Every structure is written in C-alpha cells, then in structure tokens.
Structure 1
C-alpha cells in the first residue's frame, strides 16, 4: 500500500516538471517574435521574478556584450609607392604619386619638408597653409587608393622634399624629391629662321630659373646629323640670352640648340635655320681649245636657295640654242653648253649666269684656237702637264727663274704625230735651290697664255764623309810609341833585378 502511495507522488512531481518546461518553451517561442528590447525587458522581468539579487549580474553581461562589439580590428595602411626624384622644368606641372593600400585607410596627409620645418599641405583632402600654397597652386587627386599631389606653375621655390604619410598608430610615409630646373620660355630667330645670305642672324633664348641659368649654343649643320658643335667666340657675338652671327653664309644652315642649365637641372630647345643662299656659278675650265667644225663643252655648276636658273651668254648676248651650233643640257645643278664653231665669230667669251630672287652671279670661259695648258703636276724636280691644241704645235717651252731673277728657257721636243691633247714632262737638272717655272706653247695661231708660277725645289745631294787617313796614321803611331815605352821599362827593371 505504501508503495502505491510513493509511486503516485512521483508521478505528480514528473507531471509538474513537464508542465513547467512547456511554459518556458512557449515563452521563448514568443520572445523570438518580439523585438530585441522586448526580449531584454522580458528577460529582466523574469530574472526579477525569480530573484531580485540577480539583476546586477545581467548588467555585467550587457557590458561584456558592448565591449565585444567595440573590439573590431583596426585597418593598417601600407604605402605602395617607392620614393622618386622628379626633375621638372620651371613653369610646368608635376604629379607626385602616393598609392595607399587598402583604399579604406582613413587619413592620408601631404607635407613639404624644409629642413627641420614641416609645412602641412593637405590633411586628407583639406588644404593646409593656403597663404603659402594658393588654391590654384596645388590639388589632390584622390580615387580609391590613389592620393597624388599635383603642383602647378613650378618655380625654383617649389624644389624640395614632399612627404605622403598615413596617420595611424604606426605611421608610414614616402618622401619624394622635386628639383625644378630652368625653363626655356622661347627660342626665336631673325625672320623666323629664314635669312638671306649676307645678312645678320640673331638667335634669342629667353630662360627662367633661380639661380639664373647659363646658356650654351651649339649647331648641327645641314647634312651633318650627329655632329653637334658648340658655337665659339669666333662664330658670333654673344650676350646673356642671344647670339648674333654677322654676314651669314650658305653653309650656316642647320639646327641650332639653346642649352640652359643651373645647379637644379638643365633643359634644351632647338630651332631650324635656313640661309636663303644667293646664287653662285662655277665653270670647270676657264679656257677651252677647239677648231672650226669640232666641238667644245662648257660646264657650269650652280648653287643657291632657291636653286638658281642658268642662262648662257656669248659676248654678253644670250646664246640661241635653236641652231645646230649650240646645245644646252641640264643635269641637276649642272648646265652644259656644247659649241661647234662654224667660223671665227663663234670663238670668244662664254658666260654662265646663275640667278634667283636673291641676286645674280656669273663666271666666264673662253673658247680659243691658241694652245691651252692644264693638269700641271710637280713631283720633286719633275714637271708633267698637258697641252690642248687642235692645230699643230710649233713650240713648247719651259722657263726657269732662279732666286736672283735670272731666267733660263728650255724648249721641249715636239711629238711627231698630230694630236688634240699632248702629254709632256720635263725634269729640272739645275743646281740646288728654289725655282719658279713657267710653261707656254705655240701653234700657228699664237702663243698660249703663260701658266701661273710653279714652285720647284732642288735639294742638294748629301755628302758621304770618309774617315781621315791622318787620324788613322796618328792613332797607329801613338799605339806603337806606347808599346815601345812599355817594353823599355820592362827591360830596365829586368836588368836591375839581375
């Protein structure tokens, strides 16, 4: 009987526990459908209902939760940009790089370092020291992890060191060096670089920079690429920023360089100069021999800028090429006039005239029947030359004038065969000394013109020196005398010993 009573009591206890747990579960299901505040209120009220002394413990639990919420990890920034040296001309702009990782770094600063002084430029994007750095002088380009500093209109005062840094518990930074070198504002030349030959060329190079830069001028001539030569005092008149070249010649064309430098850097600029060259004419031979019915060719070369036109004249009258006695051909800068004389009137002076809008220039040559001597060559005492004559030669003569003014004439043997061009040679066999030789030749028309004086130097033959026989005899006698004295002394000593 007692056993049944205890079993019934146990069953009632289990039933009470199950009922209490079901109530808690239902309460928790409802709490999930409530707001966070309702949950906390319900929790607090429940704790109060159970035991008022446990309320202070809940406050401690809330503090721990709040403490856990503030324990987020701090973002540590790294600067990925390497230090760099920037060399920039005055008056230009420069962009100093600063790339930070990660992009969420909160504060990036820019400062200028003046020795021990630090001048703040930017705190993030906020400009510092606007009096020293006006708003249009600097700017920040910020995008993602990029925090670049741009400085405009550079001058020498902007030279120095610039630091980009990340403000954090362990700061990191990168320092760039900026050197603002001189600037060439302008490089100009007379008439925009196109000057007529014979005029003055003035080159002016305007520069900026502190300290004031020095200037060096150089030139690369036309067709001389890679050969840059510095202009010297004899090439022009120099001032601080200009050079004047007087009476320029055609070969003064080319590229001219202004090189500016100081202790902060250097820069250069170039300008093309074109000398508008006056016309120049050149005839290859000033005297040409021919005969009636035979031909002669005059060659004329011209130069100038622009390229000159060439006109031929005969005794100051333009040559007419519409007949069978005159022909003109052109090959680039060369103009050739072919003449086939029909009579004596076709001999005379022919003129090559070169002209462009800068002027005219001419050179003349003669068409003759008298002999013409050319291609003179001197090798030691030997003379060689050519004689041109369409008519038979009658005489060829060498005249030698010594240092006292005396003249000796030597007639050379004539070739047996009739030719138009003759080769001659003559070896001077006079006493040693310096001579001037003149050559001339004659046909049945007249003598040729004397050549220009030809200098000939005859060296003296070296003298072979022989040893003097007197010296040999005296030397032998001296040796024999010495031997005799030694022998006599030896015999005297031997007798005394005995």
Structure 2
C-alpha cells in the first residue's frame, strides 16, 4: 500500500514539472513575437525620420566654417637651482609645431626674444636652441636669477608658461683675521673677523681646538664670547683660550672653512701626569711634568723646597720638548717626600707638586653599572683593600667591605680590580663609594668618592605554556540534508 501511494505522488510531481515547462515555453514564444513587432515599428520610424531629414537639406552645421586651431604650450613651468658658471636650458614646446606660431621669451618685464629676433642686445649669454623654442643660458651668473616667461603671441588667447631660475654661489671666506695676528697676552681682548661671500647668504659657525685642553674640536657659543654678524669677541683671554680657531661658512650651495692659531703669551702653566707616585727603596721612579708656553719656559725641580741639581748622583733630569722628567732612586725613607716642578719665563712662573710615597696609590676609580673599577700601584706587597659605601644622603652611614687581594703579583706592580656591589644586600638607591688599600708600609689615601646607582634585581617570571588544539565544527550542509532525505526515500520504497 505504501509503495502504491509513493508511486502516485511521484507521478503527480512529474506531471506538475511537465506543465510548468510547457507554460514557460509558451511565454518565451509570446515575448519573442512582441520583440519582432517592436523592431519593425522602430525601423519604420527610423526610415520616416531619415526621409524627412533628407527633405530638409541635411545638418545646418555643415554650412559653418571649421574654427581656427589655437596654439598650445605642452611644457610645464619648472624651477631650476644651479651653481654659478653652469648652463640651463628652459624648454617651451608648442603645438601644433608647424603652424608658424610666434613665440616670445622675457625675463621679468624685459623681453629677450620675439620669434628668432633678439630683443636684449646686452645679454650675450642667452640664445634660442636650433629648431626649437627653448631658451639656453650659458655661464649663468647671480643676476640671471629670476622668472622667465615663454608666450605664444596670438590675438585670440595668448598662452604662456614661466620658469624660475635660481643661481647660487658657494660660500667663500675672503678674510679670516685675529687681533694682533693671534699673538696676545693674558688679559687682552680677542676679536676674530671672518668675511664671507656666497648666495644664498652663508651662516657662520665658530669652533676651536684648545692648545692645552683634552679632546677634539669644541663649538663656540654665547658662553665663550659675543657674536656679531661675521665677528666673534672674547674679553680677558687666558692661557686656556690658546689654540686653533675655525670659521665655517655654510649654505645650501656648499661650505667653506678657514683656520688660524691664537697664542696667548703669559706666565707658564705646569701640568703633572701623576700627582702621587709609588716606589720602593732602591727602585727608580720617574716624576713627569709639562709646561706649554710661549715663550718656552725653563723648568726646575725641588725636593721639599730645596733646588735639585742635575749633577746629583741620586737624581737625573731629562727634557723632551715641553716635558721634563725627574728620575729618582730612593736610598732611604727620607728620600721620599714632595717634589715640585716649577716653570719660569719672562712673564712669570708656575709650579705643581708630586708626592713620592711607599704607600699604595689608587687611580682611575670609576663606576660601571653596579661595579666599581680601579687601579692599585704598589711595589710593596698588598695586605688589605677595602671599599666603603654609604647612602647618598645626610643620614647615610659608611659600610665597609673587604675586597679579595689579587692572587698573582703583577711584575709591573699595577693591579686592575673590579668589585660588584649588586650582591652586597644593598637596597636600591643612590650611594657614595670610595676605596683605599694597605701594603706593608701604610694605608693609601681614600679615593675621591663616586656615585653608584643600584637597582633592585628583577625576579624571573615563570610562564606557563598553553597548548591549543585545532577544533573542527560539524555543520550540516545542504548536500548532507539531501543525502539523508534520499536515503530515507529509498528505505521506504524497499
């Protein structure tokens, strides 16, 4: 029974489909017939309109004359920036090229060319390029800067373009001079003059390299003197102002540099390399000083205020340019003490002292992050080294840390030490630190304090790894639904 019922349903479905297809075919035939009738009507109307148009004698526009073609400039105006002495070609392409158009060139309000005819007899460097309307300017000069206009001379509608030419001249320093040719006494005033030319107008920058200073060239600012246009003025110069002075002229067109030497004549200045020197009995020590001066000074050495004679068997004095070296061989404890280097010239004298000691000498005490670094000089065996640290405030108290002694004795009696503070249970903050050392003779002086910044140590953070597997979603599709339905029908039929 169910099979018969299903067969009847399928038959009705097939009849319905056939009926729908037949109806659609008849509808298409009716539409095609309607389109054929419409096309015939349109063709008839078109033929009638054409016949009427022929009877009227055609389009009235054909009776009018064709308008005259106007000239056009195909080139666009541009800006040209070039250095003096170069050449520039200003383009002016017109259309139509064979229409015999008359083209003129002018600069600002002054005409240069009308067609091929020059209009400015004084300008010998401007010409027209052969077989074109381009303007060529050779060996450009500063006065060639301006606006150049190319125009088609036509009564109906003149057209034109404008090129801008900017001629630049690189900076040039024509004069760089100093008061008294740069030879002055201490306390004199110094005036530097730097005359420059160039287009655009150059900017002037000053710098110097000190004769007695460390480092390279340093810029000069308002703290050093007074700037007025192309001059620089310094009042009451000192020995430290001696050196090489530079004038820089800078612009978009280039730059130029000039230099001169300034000598400051006065009493000498003594410089010592090591103010404290360690040595031992019967071990030679070299004490060095230098005096740079004009005129060159005479250098003498003193021991505890007594002049040292070069002929002494215990001392040897040698000179190398502006540097003087005193070699000392102590024979007993009394031979240690204070030695003085004195330089003298016609303008005065100056001196500095060097202490010859048996105690350790601390040098180059510095900070590298949370680490302290320094150098110890000692010919005698080291016994103790201690670092003292306190909080960098009024209420801080000094804490002392013992530094391990170097295990290997350096044959040069010089020891490089590094001491970290990060593992000393100190809270984060700012601290003052100093160091001293002791050998078999005595303690050294405390070093100059340095500032140490300690930061809290960050704790490592453990992170958990997260594993995320790929997921697949089962979403029913149309195909799945139809497949299920078809399988159901087959099962029912069976």
Structure 1 or 2, whichever has the larger Rg, is 1
TM-score normalized with structure 2 length: 0.47
Whichever structure has more helix as a proportion of its residues is 1
TM-score normalized with structure 1 length: 0.47
